[in-house]
């Protein structure tokens, strides 16, 4: 018998474990090295774990930006963020999330996630999921919170469920942009080309996860501006009620970062929030963002 060509030999299994957190969502993947080849069977298990737990934590991943990108790409094409100012050099697929300034210039998006949101919900095709890789961490603060929007939907009263199920809402990248720029003047002034890239999108208020079929609330304080077809006051009141409900502590996992953590969450199932870092402490993470499909 002749040996199969090298390209057909499947890499060995990495025999990793998936350990759910003692939290509403999230699991740690133990024993998987992202920089090593991941065979189809392991990838299938990983994919299933991601759908089951919505946020996966891979500790101590000493990976290069290219390895971060290559792993992310196995889940889908990658988004290039509208703030091209904060792309990693030679790797436009990586957005630098950081409060660090070098020579007075910000090296990354310093206030990413100060309001609850799902990444890229303001585009017709929001993100499937995002992967943040820790580069430099503060000695205190800097946690990231994740809230399960399936639980948020399922725990609404059936009256409210019926009321919101047919509704659509507008999402806009610009909703809070000027307010944030007033607080954080380092935020770049958007060019007309950038503004054109982020025209508001209309999304269902309740979306169906395209892979699991589960419903999830899909409105956020960061990007959702109004419910389509409702008078402003009624829209504001309904959104305020949904925002408050969607991030109740019983839906939330709080991630405390450790060096070289890679965290991969599902933007179709979760919202997330940066808890905040004291100004005098440095924090930097690299983000890839996988493009998803049109919500329904």
Nearest to 75 by CA among 104, 44, 97, 102: 44
Select the binding partner of residue 295 from ligand OGA, Mn ion, none (C-beta < 5 to 8 A, by kind).
none
- Provide the Cα torsion 230, 123, 86, 36; round to 10°: 130
Whether residue 253 contacts residue 20, with contact meaning beta carbons closer than 8 Å, is answered with no
Q: How many Cβ atoms from other residues are within 10 Å of residue 60's Cβ? A: 11
The closest alpha carbon to 133, from 283, 290, 286, 274, belongs to: 286
In this chain, which of 42, 119, 148, 266 binds Mn ion, going by CB under 5 A?
119
Q: Is 52 a catalytic residue?
A: no
Q: What one-character-per-residue DSSP string does 18-67 give?
A: EEE-SSSS-EEEES--TTS---HHHHHHHHHHHHHHSEEEE-S----HHH
**Which of 50, 53, 117, 150 is an active site residue?**
117
Check if 261 is active-site: no
Least distance (Å) from Mn ion to the CB of residue 33? 26
Candidate ranges 24-32, 50-58, 62-70, 108-116; the one touching Mn ion (CB under 5 A): 108-116
Q: Is 73 a catalytic residue?
A: no
Give backbone dihedrals phi and psi of 191, rounded to 5 degrees, phi first: -75, 165
Among 24, 26, 106, 113, binds Mn ion (CB under 5 A): 113
Q: Which of 18, 38, 82, 97 binds ligand OGA (CB under 6 A)?
A: 97
Write out the binding residues for ligand OGA, residues 260-279 only, by CB under 6 A.
272, 274
Structure tokens at 130: 């995002």
- Quick note: the x/- pattern for ligand OGA over 98-127, rule CB under 6 A, is --------------xx-----x--------
| DSSP H or E run through 102 | strand 101-102
Q: Is 79 in the site for ligand OGA (CB under 6 A)?
A: no
Over 147-174, what HEC string results? Answer: EEHHHHHHCCCHHHHHHHCCCEEEECCC
- Residue 18 binds which entry of ligand OGA, Mn ion, none, CB below 5-8 Å type-dependent: none
Interaction partner, residue 287 (ligand OGA, Mn ion, none; CB < 5-8 Å by kind): ligand OGA
Map tokens 């007033």 to a residue. 182
Question: Applying CB under 6 A, which of residues 61, 144, 149, 220 lies at the interface with ligand OGA?
Answer: 144
Least distance to ligand OGA, CB of residue 79, Å: 11
SS3 285: strand
Sign of torsion over alpha carbons 114, 119, 120, 122:
negative
Select the span of 96-104, 105-113, 137-145, 224-232 touching Mn ion (CB under 5 A): 105-113
111, 119, 148, 266: the catalytic one is 119
**Which member of 130, 203, 235, 288 binds ligand OGA (CB under 6 A)?**
130
Query: 287 catalytic, yes or no?
Result: yes
Which residues of this protein are in contact with ligand OGA, per CB under 6 A?
A: 97, 112-113, 119, 130, 132, 144, 272, 274, 285, 287
Active site residues: 117, 119, 272, 287
């Amino acid at each position: 018998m002749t040996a199969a060509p090298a390209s057909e030999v499947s890499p060995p299994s990495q025999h990793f474990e998936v350990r759910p957190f003692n939290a509403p969502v999230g699991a740690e993947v133990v024993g998987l090295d992202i920089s090593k080849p991941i065979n189809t069977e392991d990838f299938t298990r990983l994919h299933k774990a991601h759908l089951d737990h919505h946020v996966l934590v891979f500790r101590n991943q000493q990976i290069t930006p290219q390895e971060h990108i290559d792993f992310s790409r196995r889940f889908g094409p990658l988004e290039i963020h509208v703030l091209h100012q904060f792309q990693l050099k030679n790797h436009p697929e990586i957005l630098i999330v950081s409060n660090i300034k070098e020579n007075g210039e910000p090296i990354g998006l310093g206030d990413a996630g100060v309001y609850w949101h799902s990444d890229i919900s303001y585009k017709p095709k929001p993100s499937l999921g995002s992967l943040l890789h820790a580069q430099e961490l503060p000695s205190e603060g800097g946690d990231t919170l994740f809230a399960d929007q399936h639980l948020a939907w399922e725990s609404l009263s059936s009256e409210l469920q019926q009321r919101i199920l047919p509704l659509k809402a507008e999402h806009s990248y610009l909703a809070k942009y000027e307010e944030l720029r007033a607080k954080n003047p380092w935020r770049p002034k958007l060019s007309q080309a950038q503004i054109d890239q982020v025209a508001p999108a209309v999304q269902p208020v309740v979306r169906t996860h395209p892979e699991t079929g589960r419903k999830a609330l899909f409105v956020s304080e960061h990007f959702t501006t109004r419910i389509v077809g409702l008078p402003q006051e009624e829209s504001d009141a309904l959104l305020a009620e949904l925002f408050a409900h969607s991030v109740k502590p019983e839906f939330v996992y709080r991630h405390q970062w450790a060096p070289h953590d890679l965290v991969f969450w599902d933007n179709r199932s979760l919202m997330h929030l940066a808890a905040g870092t004291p100004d005098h402490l440095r924090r930097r993470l690299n983000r890839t963002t996988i493009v998803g499909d049109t919500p329904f």
